[in-house]
Structure 1
Amino acid sequence: MPRAASICYVQGCTSRTVRSGRCGVHAPPERAWARPSARNQLRDSAWERRVRPRALARDGFACVRCGAREGLEVDHITPIAKGGTWTLDNAQTLCRPCHSAKTQRDRTKP
């Protein structure tokens, strides 16, 4: 059995709900952070399933900068925002402190 139409919960409004219990007039605007950015839409689950594990194995499950074996993250050598790719050639294993330092350097480079 279909669900009964509900009305907007803004006092005095009798229009049907569209989103978040409100009508089209009273519905909140779509939040910018709820939409993925254009560059993240290019990201595929293939990164998580194929590239990331291969990068970790290739680098011996250790940070390529300091050799740490805990808190590992796979980083893009050339950031996606600066023309990098989602491939294994552009991936490296870094520990959290080295990754943070590299990210800071990448942000200050033109």
Structure 2
Amino acid sequence: MSQNGDATLITLLLQDKQVEGLQFLKDDQWFRAPIIPEALLINVGDQAEILSNGILKSPVYRVVINPDTERISLAAFCMPESDKEIEPLESLVNESTPDCTRR
């Protein structure tokens, strides 16, 4: 079992229709991501958190293995080129909300 966040802008996930496995950490407690058939789960990544100056939060998640049943999910990762520097949108930085990357 691994736990991490995504360095992406967003991740699009089509979950297995029957086997659960994805969990998100909130308030030091793990919550399972429900299976919603034919729905995409959209996960905000670290880059979206930076661009939004912390308004959007990149969650910590883990994938739990089911020892009895295989799970097949499809993920698409959306992100700018790796050599590009990103920072919060200028309109989201002010005295009351300073640049989240400089804290």
TM-score scaled to structure 1, two decimals?
0.21
- Which protein has greater RCO, CA pairs closer than 8 Å, 6+ apart? 2
Scaled by the length of structure 2, the TM-score of the pair is 0.22
| Structure having the higher Rg | 1
In proportion to residue count, which structure has more strand? 2
Q: 1 or 2, which has the higher helix percentage?
A: 1
